[in-house]
């Protein structure tokens, strides 16, 4: 979720050169230090994460960190800082460094709105795939990633239109094993603070780009679709909705042709929003047993595959997204100005 960025940041951005942004203090890596707490609502949480496990801050100073993905071949984490139009890299050995700029807006004319990349993924060919707010598309790097090197900012469009109309601002994405890309398209990254009058599509949909490049509307059932993830067997697609009036996750059955059916509410966190907890349904991941670790009001909500809230991992700040890393037993979290992590007792799906 990126709706809470400061107006002053957007105004500064509109007046700046896109490749030489100046945001004051640069982000920095820090010696890991504890922050926040883990709230236990059900004993079943203990099999997923020990409530006494420390949450650690690894880096800080970001405007709005988002979209983390673990780069196994390099042993590092890549993640977006949307206002800075930059992807950063963090590793245990090398610490924090700028990895790619520009990451989401490649135009030469300064514009408002949220510019950078958001959700990231790495495909089987080791190509970085990303949602680009500023360019209003899903794109990938032209060349595969190479461990130990920084890529050139040369992109190939994966999908930028549906029914002849430009997307609003693709937000998050997930790759299916057959090569299809599913992604959400809310309006948060549009100019003028997400002004609908600048949109060409008058709703916020979930889309599928097939292996053949054909783009189809998967569902428009979500008012403000945001994060999404598959169950371990890819038979269910979960989609988060960052709507304060209906802060929910929906589940859909994935058919053999890629279409979505049997829409239902998987978990409703609206009451948590009404309690004033920071955050809303945003990015999330699924573990090997089908449990969701979903950023939402209060932090990362640990939700069983049966839809029960087992506990919450809280840094004290809104958490936008998370990713499994290391051997699959570490959850990395992009939490506003922080990059944080927590060790788990489970493993991420696919590890």
Q: Establish if 22 belongs to a structural domain.
A: no
Largest CA-CA distance found in the chain, in angstroms, rounded: 54
Q: Establish if 1 belongs to a structural domain.
A: no
Distance between CA atoms of 318 and 278, rounded to whole angstroms?
A: 5
What pLDDT was estimated at residue 7? 35
Question: Is the torsion defined by CA of 156, 88, 181, 188 positive or negative?
Answer: negative
Q: Establish if 21 belongs to a structural domain.
A: no
Q: Establish if 311 belongs to a structural domain.
A: yes
Q: Which residue range forms the structural domain that includes residue 154?
A: 7-15+28-343
What pLDDT was estimated at residue 8? 29
CATH number where 308 lies: 2.120.10.30
Mean pLDDT of the chain: 93
Mean pLDDT for the stretch of residues 105-112? 90
If one counts the domains in the chain, the total is 1
Each residue's pLDDT tens digit, 187-197: 999 987 788 89
What pLDDT was estimated at residue 192? 78
> What is the percent of the chain with per-residue pLDDT over 90, rounded to a whole number?
89
User: How far lies 9's CA from each of 260, 335, 340, in Å?
Assistant: 38, 18, 23
Each residue's pLDDT tens digit, 204-260: 999 999 999 999 999 999 999 999 999 999 999 999 999 999 999 999 999 999 999
User: How far lies 171's CA from each of 233, 240, 256, in Å?
Assistant: 24, 11, 25
pLDDT of 5 higher than 60: no
């Amino acid at each position: 979720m990126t709706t809470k960025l400061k107006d002053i940041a957007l105004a500064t951005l509109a007046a700046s050169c896109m490749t030489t942004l100046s945001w004051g203090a640069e982000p920095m890596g820090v010696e890991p230090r504890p922050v926040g707490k883990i709230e236990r609502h059900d004993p079943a949480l203990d099999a997923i994460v020990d409530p006494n496990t420390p949450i650690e801050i690894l880096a800080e100073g970001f405007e709005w960190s988002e979209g983390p993905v673990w780069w196994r071949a390099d042993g590092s984490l890549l993640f977006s800082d949307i206002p800075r139009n930059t992807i950063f890299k963090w590793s245990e050995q090398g610490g924090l460094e700028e990895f790619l700029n520009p990451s989401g807006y490649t135009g030469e004319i300064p514009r408002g709105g949220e510019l950078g990349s958001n959700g990231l993924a790495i495909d089987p060919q080791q190509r970085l795939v990303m949602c680009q707010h500023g360019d209003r598309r899903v794109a990938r790097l032209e060349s595969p990633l190479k461990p130990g090197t920084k890529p050139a900012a040369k992109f190939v469009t994966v999908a930028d239109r549906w029914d002849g109309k430009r997307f609003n601002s693709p937000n998050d994405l997930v790759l299916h094993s057959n090569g299809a890309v599913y992604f959400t398209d809310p309006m948060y990254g549009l100019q003028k603070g997400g002004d609908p009058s600048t949109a060409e599509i008058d709703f916020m949909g979930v889309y599928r780009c097939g292996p053949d490049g054909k783009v189809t509307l998967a569902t428009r059932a979500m008012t403000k679709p945001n994060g999404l993830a598959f169950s371990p067997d890819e038979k269910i697609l979960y989609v988060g909705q960052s709507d304060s009036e209906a802060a929910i996750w929906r589940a859909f059955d994935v058919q053999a042709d890629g279409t979505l059916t049997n829409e239902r509410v998987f978990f409703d966190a609206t009451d948590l929003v009404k309690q004033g907890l920071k955050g809303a349904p945003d990015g999330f991941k699924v573990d090997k047993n089908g449990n969701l670790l979903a950023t939402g009001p209060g932090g990362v909500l640990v939700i069983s595959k049966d839809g029960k809230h087992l506990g919450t991992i809280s840094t004290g700040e809104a958490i936008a997204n998370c990713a499994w890393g290391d051997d699959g037993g570490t959850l990395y979290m992009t939490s506003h100005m922080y990059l944080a992590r927590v060790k788990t007792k489970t493993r991420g799906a696919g590890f």
